[in-house]
Structure 1
Amino acid sequence: MTAEQLTMGVEEEFLLVGEDGRLSGFGPEVVDATEEGHGEVEPELKRCQVEGVSDICRTPEEVLEQLTGLRGELAAAAGKRGLRLLPSGCPVVPETGEQEITPNPRYLRLAQWFGATARSLATCGCHVHVAIPDRETGVVVSNRVRPWLPVLLALTVNSPFNGADTGYASWRYQEWSRWPSAGPPPMFSGLDEYEATVDTMLRAGALMDRAMIYWDVRLSERHPTLEFRIADVAAVPEDAVLLATMVRGLVARALDTGGPPPELPQAVLRANLWRASREGLTGATLHPVTGELGPVQSQVDDLVEHLSPVLGGDLEFVKAGVARLRERGTGAARQRAAHQRRGELTDVVDALVVTTRST
């Protein structure tokens, strides 16, 4: 099994902001006005959000073309209303109140049941789908990839601000963890236990429906895929493509590996994810294999080595992407660098917003 044999797709969530960097509630209108040429665009839970969904892709180059095109199309539609498309995991400048829920019956029920957890959140993630043979196999893959989730999060942090510097590289991950169904997936003995756990959460009211399974890795309810939900939305599409390519490699490696999955207690994994969300690529976590505390930078190298047997032609792409990310810094590092120049949060917004349309 090589990674190139598996298809992949990416979903990116964005914030809409005005010239002052504050959130704008015209998401559904911007979606309706978008001239689609790549993938699909959709509204999100909050009116200040929009989403771009790629088509099924087979190469990193296809993913890059799709994401660049979707960003450009959404930015163009936003621009017609004097708005801008902001690829940040959290709002940057301070907001004076809660953002309106998109008037979709499901979203309105969700907001009523989950209260402030739903009403106060305006976070944006990047979700990667990778094709799997069947749901039983998907559970096996989820078990195998769990230890590497903190490294993926550290690579993709892009939300240090939420009206002020939060002290975290990914504040989105902290905010999102408030949902009762969020966080790392448990270890499952098989599909039966996975389904029984979901059914129990539904009966308990912690899930309103199966679409609310918000684990960092989950079986998709709409597609024959395993969906990785660990990452902040990327500052630039190249970072999202690097994530998607590495995630596809992780799935391929898991499909190619025999024996029992790695033993990693849920509490330890949660601790590692907390540390990764706080420090990002420049920090340290417990190594996913040895359990020793060490720099994330070296664990990224170990992850690339772990994936190299299955990456095939994607290997050089991944190595180049990791080198580029280290040189430029994560989205969080770039946000803080933009802020440091003058101490103005609006400079962060200006540095991030999508300004051109793909052709």
Structure 2
Amino acid sequence: MPKDTTGFTMGIEEEYLIVDPQTREQDSAAARVLPRAQRVLGEQIQPELQLSQVESTSPVCHTLAEIRQSLIQQRRSLIEATAAINKKLAASATHPFSHWSGQRVHPKERYQSLLHEFQQLAREQGIQGCHVHVGPPGQALAAIFSRLRSWLTPLLALSANSPFWLGEDSGYASFRTEVWMRWPLSGPPPAFASLEEYRELVQSLVAVKGIEDATKIYWDLRLSERYPTIECRVADVCLTIDEAVMIAGLTRALVRACYEQSLLDAPFPIVHQDLLRASHWRAARYGLEGDLVDVNTREIIPAPELVERLMTFVRPALEADGDWDEVSGLVRQTLQQGNGACRQRAVYQRTGDMHALVDFIINETARGVL
């Protein structure tokens, strides 16, 4: 592993669906898939809430090349493990037509506890996200956190990959976001003046039984309890490895840019949480195909323009890590060909066939892997 020259480490988590190749329905086969994949990658492969879901977790990475290699290894391992039992792997943040009532919650104690506590919300939780961890140097977590939260909207728009729900076009680019926003302590986080203020709120929430512990905070941005990282949870799981690498690179660059701002004590707007929620709703609704909110300037602008503002903000950080050419190229490609939601809709509009759509998702999941 190359020497870390920046101090900004990365990790990425992806959640996937197990699919039956005949019916194209979700398949509760995790108990047979996990041991096969874990023989290759150990604890990098984990269960998820439902038995038709699995999760991959990368090791600590220092470069985008390491992130890409980890994603290739994990997707390959899971694709081979599902194929061994005649199943398929699908990277879509919602299944186009499977119904939540046909899914079973994993028997693991943590997930049974979630089912007991959250009831219907847990039963309907058939959604898949992409979480990126970034480990910044020093003790600047709170300052980075409060700056970073205003840049989450374009990440959501670029990653949106869940237009269908229960066999219907939801009208959203990321319907996963709308399903997820029903959970307590989900969505955009509040701003914090200090790390102590963050910890005090968490302690108060635990004290009043608002949450069982800090791992039950589900904001789109949070401080990890297991690692000294900022965890960005706003993105849908991406169809392809290229898009996941793009989201990882942008997230690290955002953390670095916000860190360097904090060192200069540069002023920044404290954006109200409800304005962030309105901004995220538009990104979930329209993705890259409508007007989005720049919460820093309080403007409605076309999605590509907001993405361009993001790229201007993070360019020095991307260049410092040697990532500008790769990430800017992947962003340009996404704007040209569309995010996952655009491409899923195009397939269904062309074929009118949900089975063909699931086949497309399966093939995109494996692109660049095998």
TM class by smaller structure: over 0.9
Structure 2 contact 240–366 (Cα < 8 Å) conserved:
no
Change in 2 beyond 3 A, CA 1:22/1:289: same
Structure 2 length as normaliser, TM-score? 0.92
Structure 1 length as normaliser, TM-score? 0.95
Please identify, of 48-57 and 89-98, the stretch whose mean Cα deviation from structure 2 is larger. 89-98
Structure 2 contact 154–283 (Cα < 8 Å) conserved:
yes
- Structure 2, unmatched stretches of 5+, are none
Q: Does 1:67 align with 2:71?
A: yes
User: What's 1:84 paired with?
Assistant: 88
Change in 2 beyond 3 A, CA 1:335/1:113: same
User: What's 2:279 paired with?
Assistant: 272
User: What's 1:144 paired with?
Assistant: 147
Pairs aligned (count): 357
Structure 2 contact 173–284 (Cα < 8 Å) conserved:
yes
Find the aligned partners of 2:6 and 2:72 in 1 and give their Cα distance. 21
Change in 2 beyond 3 A, CA 1:292/1:181: same
Structure 1 contact 11–51 (Cα < 8 Å) conserved:
yes
User: Alignment partner of 1:36: what SS?
Assistant: helix
Q: Does 1:319 align with 2:328?
A: yes
1:233-279 Cα offsets, whole Å, 9 max, x none, are 00001101001101100000011012344221111110000000000
Match of 2:300 among 288, 293, 300: 293
Deviation (angstroms), 1:153? 0.4
Structure 1 contact 133–224 (Cα < 8 Å) conserved:
no
User: What's 1:33 paired with?
Assistant: 36
Q: Which amino acid aligns with 1:53?
A: T
Match of 2:360 among 327, 351, 358: 351
**CA-atom RMSD, angstroms?**
1.8
User: Alignment partner of 1:238: what SS?
Assistant: helix
Structure 1 contact 153–280 (Cα < 8 Å) conserved:
yes
Deviation (angstroms), 1:94? 3.4
Find the aligned partners of 1:38 and 1:62 in 2 and give their Cα distance. 18
1:6-60 Cα offsets, whole Å, 9 max, x none, are 1101000001110222111111321111142597100011111001111111111
Deviation (angstroms), 1:92? 1.2
Change in 2 beyond 3 A, CA 1:3/1:325: farther
User: What's 1:303 paired with?
Assistant: 310
Change in 2 beyond 3 A, CA 1:355/1:264: closer
User: What's 1:201 paired with?
Assistant: 205
Match of 2:217 among 204, 213, 216: 213
Change in 2 beyond 3 A, CA 1:126/1:114: same
User: What's 1:157 paired with?
Assistant: 160
Q: Which amino acid aligns with 1:243?
A: I
Find the aligned partners of 1:283 and 1:36 in 2 and give their Cα distance. 43
Deviation (angstroms), 1:324? 1.1
Find the aligned partners of 1:10 and 1:247 in 2 and give their Cα distance. 10
Find the aligned partners of 1:103 and 1:343 in 2 and give their Cα distance. 37
Deviation (angstroms), 1:202? 2.0
Q: Which amino acid aligns with 1:282?
A: E
User: Alignment partner of 1:256: what SS?
Assistant: helix
Find the aligned partners of 2:333 and 2:43 in 1 and give their Cα distance. 26
Q: Which has the higher contact order (CA 8 A, sep 6+)?
A: 1
Percent identity, aligned pairs only, is 36
For residues 181-200 of structure 1, the aligned pairs below 5 Å read 181-200=185-204
Q: Which amino acid aligns with 1:150?
A: T
User: What's 1:14 paired with?
Assistant: 16
Find the aligned partners of 1:207 and 1:85 in 2 and give their Cα distance. 32
Find the aligned partners of 2:82 and 2:210 in 1 and give their Cα distance. 35
Change in 2 beyond 3 A, CA 1:293/1:106: same
User: What's 1:117 paired with?
Assistant: 121
Structure 2 contact 8–137 (Cα < 8 Å) conserved:
no
Find the aligned partners of 2:330 and 2:366 in 1 and give their Cα distance. 22
User: Alignment partner of 1:97: what SS?
Assistant: helix
Deviation (angstroms), 1:211? 1.1
Q: Does 1:176 align with 2:180?
A: yes
Find the aligned partners of 2:42 and 2:286 in 1 and give their Cα distance. 34
For residues 128-139 of structure 1, the aligned pairs below 5 Å read 128-133=132-137, 137-139=140-142
Structure 1 contact 75–356 (Cα < 8 Å) conserved:
no
1:254-308 Cα offsets, whole Å, 9 max, x none, are 1101234422111111000000000001221221332111111111111111111
User: Alignment partner of 2:151: what SS?
Assistant: helix
User: What's 1:42 paired with?
Assistant: 46
